[in-house]
């Protein structure tokens, strides 16, 4: 650990005046008191990187940084007004200045010349982040938490780095790799897996099963292999609650390590977790954790980009790849040991170019085993093509509007809702949809705001529209925000036709259920279920033909609701791969793995997909059960 830092310093020139050298997780940060060396280190840093094969960053010692107020004035003078700077934050502990701008390209300048000039005139390291096009309270709060806790972050990241570079500390050197299923095995929900080697303990996802009750909602934390004080890292594949809701609970019970995810996943995950707390309080349920634990999670989150390689333990190296499921969703590739084993956890993935995202990646450097979702892996899971589904939805909207009704679209807050918004905006712009108001319920609006801060995660078509044509579909004036209960009730009671997007998509709670209660008994209206409906949830029961539902009114009273509105189900907008797409994914997957594990699907679907893949590829293929522990090597 100490040796690698000493080695870095030893390879730098004596006149570099290195004041300190420490870790930021897997990265090594070198601070210098030599102004000239900071501004022009020549090939010194590059040469050391070539020797030790680790990422090194050079920063000025904080004593070199110019006064904050003077630096701020210089930055504002150097950056064109057209860049629309929103905020400037100075991180004194790490000699960085973060510039938030609505048009970051203008703030950076051609070939980064503006950043170079800021660096020269202020002696701060400038970083530019995109401000969301729609005001986002969650992004502001998260970035504020990170800036206010910069001293904590520096110490925390240094501690994480010391663990990564500590070498083998647990004693036993036998080489093996195993994974334990703590959830989402022959079921959809509560994704959670524990990956172990003699040296490392890494958790993959930590979610809930929103359609279950009691202990069946949560990961099986009582498996003998899991000891929270031995956990090295947690990887979150994407923000949906069935993959991320229980991450703050880990901090409540003593976890003090890093959470690895992408930036969009961090922001949306925190927003959904806070909404989960709020929803529980409205239903008079004791929260499992509070906003304090969500804040602690955010403080310890380490965000990495797609295809950025980083060490996370002494014997595990992580790389994220696009999963095509939601914004920032990733497949986690883990290179374990010195070429010992290569494992891919896909999380939820979509092998199709959607309206919003590019399809999941299929090319990897090495691959021995893969754990893949089987949500729609059954032999009958081949819905109509996306374009056909769009036409079906347009027909439903036309028919409903003609009779003066409203169309309720229960959607997942992240992913499905933005996919549908892009489709509706295009249809409205092209005149293929009736000119009616499209109401977007609060949580969907908040998550869409997060999307506007990370357009680089979109597919090529949407990126071109935003970057080159200055046309962001999410800021179109066809969408109207619904912020509270009063506005919601006004929409329900109004006589005008409209389209309503509201969470939750599985109708396990939230605004979609409130809209449903207000609209269900009127046959003019329609409800269109567009996402996966697990067994037992309200949406699944409607799909199965139920038309009477009992709802609690508190104090032991209940009401029976008769559904007279038209009920439709369209699965082609899913962010999951269909059976055909899953088979196509494995056909194009390179290199071919030696072991396939099917998870995140109902029993029959997992077993069916496993059997089919085994017959086609002649590879060991299994559908593990909850509590199963599988040796990968």
Q: pLDDT, tens digit, for every residue of 68-99?
A: 999 999 999 999 999 999 999 999 999 999 99
Query: Does the pLDDT at position 170 exceed 60?
Result: no
Distance (Å) of CA 268 to CA 243, 249, 330, 427:
12, 17, 14, 27
Distance (Å) of CA 56 to CA 28, 121, 217, 320:
5, 23, 43, 20
Angle between helices 113-122 and 68-78 (to 10 degrees): 160
Query: Does the pLDDT at position 30 exceed 50?
Result: yes
Q: What's CA 261's distance to the chain center, in Å?
A: 7
Query: Does the pLDDT at position 59 exceed 90?
Result: yes
- According to the model, what pLDDT value does residue 407 have? 96
Q: Which residue has the tokens 């901090």?
A: 251
- With a CB cutoff of 8 Å and minimum separation 6, the contacts of 480 are 437, 438, 439, 440
For the record, the structure tokens of 593 come out as: 């793995």
Query: Does the pLDDT at position 169 exceed 80?
Result: no
pLDDT tens sequence across 405-456: 999 999 888 887 898 899 999 999 998 999 999 999 888 899 999 999 999 9
Q: Which residue has the tokens 């210098």?
A: 32
Query: Does the pLDDT at position 211 exceed 80?
Result: no
Nearest-angstrom CA–CA distance, 167 and 170: 9
**Do 531 and 411 meet the contact criterion of CB atoms below 8 Å apart?**
yes
Nearest-angstrom CA–CA distance, 342 and 365: 9
CA dihedral 104, 109, 114, 115 (to 10 degrees): 50
- According to the model, what pLDDT value does residue 164 have? 95
pTM over cut 0.85: yes
pLDDT tier for residue 504 given thresholds of 50, 70 and 90: confident
For residue 566, how many other CB atoms are within 10 A of its CB? 17
pLDDT tier for residue 106 given thresholds of 50, 70 and 90: very high
Query: Does the pLDDT at position 289 exceed 60?
Result: yes
Q: How many residues does the chain have?
A: 633
Q: Which domains does the chain have, with CATH numbers?
A: 2-63 (3.30.300.230), 65-131 (3.30.300.20), 150-379+576-631 (3.60.15.10), 386-569 (3.40.50.10890)
Mean pLDDT of the chain: 92
- According to the model, what pLDDT value does residue 1 have? 47
**Least trusted range by pLDDT, from 21-35, 128-142, 188-202, 275-289:** 275-289
- Burial of 10 per CB tally in 10 Å (0-12, 13-18, 19+): exposed
As a whole-number percent, the residues of the chain with pLDDT over 90 amount to 77
pLDDT tens sequence across 292-343: 999 999 999 999 999 999 999 999 999 999 999 999 999 999 999 988 999 9
Q: Which residue has the tokens 């139920």?
A: 546
Highest mean predicted confidence (pLDDT) among 36-45, 529-538, 542-551, 571-580 = 36-45
pLDDT tier for residue 554 given thresholds of 50, 70 and 90: low
Name the 3-class secondary structure at 199. coil
Query: Does the pLDDT at position 374 exceed 50?
Result: yes
Compute the average pLDDT of residues 498-513.
Answer: 87
Angle between helices 291-299 and 263-282 (to 10 degrees): 170
pLDDT tier for residue 555 given thresholds of 50, 70 and 90: low
Q: What's CA 467's distance to the chain center, in Å?
A: 22
- According to the model, what pLDDT value does residue 326 have? 95
Rg of the chain in Å (alpha carbons): 25
Query: Does the pLDDT at position 478 exceed 50?
Result: yes
Under DSSP, the state recorded for 431 is: T
281-285: list long-range contacts, CB under 8 Å, 24+ apart.
283/509
**Do 516 and 507 meet the contact criterion of CB atoms below 8 Å apart?**
yes
Alpha helices in 403-504 (DSSP H): 416-430, 442-451, 460-467, 485-493
For the record, the structure tokens of 468 come out as: 């080159």
**Do 630 and 185 meet the contact criterion of CB atoms below 8 Å apart?**
no
Per residue, the 3-state secondary structure of 18-62, as one string, reads EEEEEEECCEEEEEECCHHHHHCCCCHHHHHHHHHCCCEEEEECH
Question: Which DSSP helix (H) or strand (E) runs through 584?
Answer: helix 579-588
pLDDT tier for residue 508 given thresholds of 50, 70 and 90: confident
For the record, the structure tokens of 146 come out as: 């990170």
pLDDT tier for residue 114 given thresholds of 50, 70 and 90: very high
């Amino acid at each position: 650990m100490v040796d690698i830092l000493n080695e870095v310093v030893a390879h730098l020139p004596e006149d570099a005046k290195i004041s300190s050298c420490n870790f930021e997780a897997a990265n090594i940060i070198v601070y210098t008191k030599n102004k000239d060396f900071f501004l022009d280190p020549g090939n010194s840093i590059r040469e050391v990187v070539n020797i030790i094969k680790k990422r090194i960053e050079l920063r000025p010692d904080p004593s070199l940084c110019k006064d904050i107020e003077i630096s701020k004035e210089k930055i504002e003078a150097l950056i064109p007004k057209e860049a629309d700077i929103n905020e400037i934050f100075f991180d004194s502990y790490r000699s960085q200045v973060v510039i938030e701008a609505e048009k970051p390209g203008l703030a950076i300048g051609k070939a980064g010349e503006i950043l170079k000039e800021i660096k020269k005139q202020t002696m701060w390291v400038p970083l530019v982040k995109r401000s969301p096009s729609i005001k986002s309270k969650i992004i502001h709060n998260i970035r504020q938490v990170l800036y206010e806790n910069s001293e904590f972050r520096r110490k925390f990241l240094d501690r994480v780095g010391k663990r990564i570079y500590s070498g083998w500390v647990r004693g036993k050197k036998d080489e093996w790799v195993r994974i334990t299923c703590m959830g989402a095995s022959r079921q959809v929900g509560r994704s959670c897996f524990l990956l172990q080697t003699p040296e490392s303990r890494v958790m993959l996802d930590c979610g809930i099963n929103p359609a279950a009750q009691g202990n069946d909602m949560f990961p099986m934390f009582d498996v003998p292999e899991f000891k929270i004080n031995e956990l090295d890292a947690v990887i979150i594949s994407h923000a949906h609650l069935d993959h991320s809701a229980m991450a703050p609970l880990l901090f409540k019970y003593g976890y003090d390590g890093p959470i690895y995810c992408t930036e969009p996943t961090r922001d949306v995950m925190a927003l959904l977790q806070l909404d989960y707390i709020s929803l529980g309080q409205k239903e008079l349920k004791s929260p499992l954790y509070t906003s304090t634990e969500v804040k602690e999670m955010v403080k310890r989150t380490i965000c990495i980009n797609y295809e950025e390689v980083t060490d996370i333990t002494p014997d595990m190296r992580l790389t994220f790849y696009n999963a095509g499921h939601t914004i920032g969703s990733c497949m986690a590739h883990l290179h374990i040991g010195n070429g010992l084993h290569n494992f891919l956890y896909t999380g939820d993935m979509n092998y199709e170019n959607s309206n919003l995202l590019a399809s999941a990646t299929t090319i990897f450097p090495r691959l021995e085993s893969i754990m893949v979702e089987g949500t729609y892996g059954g032999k009958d899971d081949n819905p109509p093509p996306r374009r056909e589904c769009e036409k079906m939805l347009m027909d439903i909207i036309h028919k409903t509007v003609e009779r003066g009704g409203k169309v309720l679209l229960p959607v997942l807050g992240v992913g499905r809702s933005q996919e549908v918004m892009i489709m509706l905006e295009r249809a409205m712009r092209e005149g293929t949809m009736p000119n009616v108001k499209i109401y977007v319920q609060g949580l969907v609006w908040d998550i869409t705001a997060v999307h506007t801060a990370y357009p680089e995660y979109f597919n090529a078509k949407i990126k071109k529209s935003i970057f080159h044509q200055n046309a962001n579909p999410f800021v179109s004036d066809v969408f109207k925000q619904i912020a509270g209960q009063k506005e919601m009730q006004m929409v329900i009671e109004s006589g005008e036709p409209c389209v309503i997007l509201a969470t939750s998509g599985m109708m396990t709670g939230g605004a979609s259920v409130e809209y449903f209660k207000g609209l269900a008994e009127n046959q003019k209206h329609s409800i269109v279920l567009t996402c996966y409906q697990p067994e037992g949830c309200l949406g699944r029961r409607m799909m199965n033909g139920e038309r009477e539902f009992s709802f609690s009114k508190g104090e032991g009273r209940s009401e029976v609701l008769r559904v007279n509105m038209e009920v439709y189900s369209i699965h082609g907008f899913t962010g999951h791969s269909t059976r055909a797409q899953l088979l196509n994914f494995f056909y194009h997957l390179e290199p071919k793995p030696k072991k396939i594990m099917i998870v995140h699907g109902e029993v029959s679907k997992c077993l069916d997909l496993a059997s089919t893949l085994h017959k086609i590829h002649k590879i060991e293929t299994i559908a593990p059960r909850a509590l199963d522990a599988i040796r990968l090597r």
